Amino acid sequence: MPLEPVRPYPPELPDQIEQVNRTHNPRFVSEKLLAGDWLLLEDRYATGLHLLSELKKRIFGKRKDHSDKDDSFLSYRQKRAIFRNASNRLVVPVEKSRIALKKAPEIGWFDILYPELPDFFLSFPQVQGLNSSWQWYRKGIRYSVLTHAIHPWYGVYFPTRHDHLLLFDEWLKSYGGSREKAVDVGTGCGVLAFQMIRHDFAQVVALDVNPNAVLSVQEEITRQDLGHRLQVMVSDLFDGCPNLFHGFPKEKSDLVVFNPPWLPADSAGYAPDQISILDRAVYHEKDLFERFFQQAGAYVNEKGRVLVFYSNLGRQSGSAVAHPVEQELTFNRRFRKVRHLRRKVRPPSRKTRRRDHRKKEWVELWELAPCLVMEP
């Protein structure tokens, strides 16, 4: 049965909705959106860009005022949540797989994700996300650790900073264990899985809870003709897949790699029941790491390794979150530390206009060995 892709869901709109265009005062529009009103954009795509730009200024203030405000990471995340909720109440019409606004971009995802919906509405930020994703998908993304570009689907996580990829590449070059089988848990766009293939792992299984990630990686597997070495499947961690390797149902993996989300969901203002499949690429639930460590030992052989990537970004967010790997090593006897590598995150491009909350960020790679042999 073919996978059903995840897509932005058309909002439930009130029977009567006020229309806005470039003649409306942006302050008036911002007040309406912040008050919880739904508004329908009726003229130009550029009008939506302008209105959301003004809304952002209203919430965040002007750049020159940032030094006078609470500029903590947590405060910034809270303002982003306010902006997200308000901006998503500005909606645009989609007709015959095209945005029904003047000078709107062409977005191929409408044909792929909404084949049965001729006419519907989406919020302006949802359309922006689809447009940005379509450009990345068409152009592809190149990483220095790979020889080919990756074309991520809509809603699929792909790294925008590469320090943990370089750390992984360094580790792979020095790794002296078996390279027969490996598992990439939470594969996203698949970059870590493709790194393992490039470093001569014979068979890699990539897992992700997001169907779009599986569809995305499967496309890349076909494009690179790697079906004999790399397989991908939908799975929440290891749930539902006790036998990972075709032809080797009783054998375990030499390597399990886990690159989890580095931010707790509450740092972005999400309640536990609000985390969507797409959100889970960036924010993690409280029990994610405990579930992973409970399961991982059953899928790695006694000489194998478990690699976990992490960052101090969650601590910088102001959340009182304990380090999950340190917690595991301190209070449980399932794994022991073999190596701990760390790399400072390089600053973003000088051209970026965003405040950099990651100046003191480090990425980590924890190499663990199983202490106990467990069964799935």
User: What would the pLDDT profile of 147-188 be if each residue is shown by its tens digit?
Assistant: 999 999 999 999 988 999 999 999 999 999 999 999 999 999
* Lowest model confidence (mean pLDDT) among 124-128, 171-175, 287-291, 369-373: 369-373
Of the candidates 131, 43, 113, 122, the residue with the CA atom closest to the CA atom of residue 87: 122
In which element (H, E) is residue 205 found?
strand 203-208
How confident is the model over 132-156, as a mean pLDDT?
96
pLDDT in tens, 335-374: 999 999 998 887 665 544 444 555 678 899 999 999 865 6
Say how far apart CA 376 and CA 295 lie, in whole Å.
7
* Lowest model confidence (mean pLDDT) among 244-258, 280-294, 301-315: 244-258
The pLDDT > 90 percentage for the chain reads: 70
How confident is the model over 219-244, as a mean pLDDT?
89
Bridge partner list, 182: 204, 255
pLDDT, position 239: 86
**pLDDT band with cut points at 50, 70 and 90 for residue 284:** low
**Residue 7 scores a pLDDT above 70:** yes
pLDDT in tens, 98-109: 999 999 999 999
Residues forming CATH 3.40.50.150 domain(s) in the chain: 141-370
CA angle 362–347–317, rounded 5-degree value: 50
Cβ distance 345 to 163 under 8 Å?
yes
Cβ distance 206 to 257 under 8 Å?
no
* pLDDT mean across residues, the chain: 87
| DSSP-derived 3-state class of residue 345 | coil
**pLDDT band with cut points at 50, 70 and 90 for residue 271:** low
**Residue 280 scores a pLDDT above 50:** yes
Of the candidates 284, 325, 344, the residue with the CA atom closest to the CA atom of residue 162: 344
Domain 141-370 has CATH 3.40.50.150: yes
- State the pTM of this model: 0.87
Cβ distance 191 to 143 under 8 Å?
yes
Higher pLDDT, 241 or 113: 113
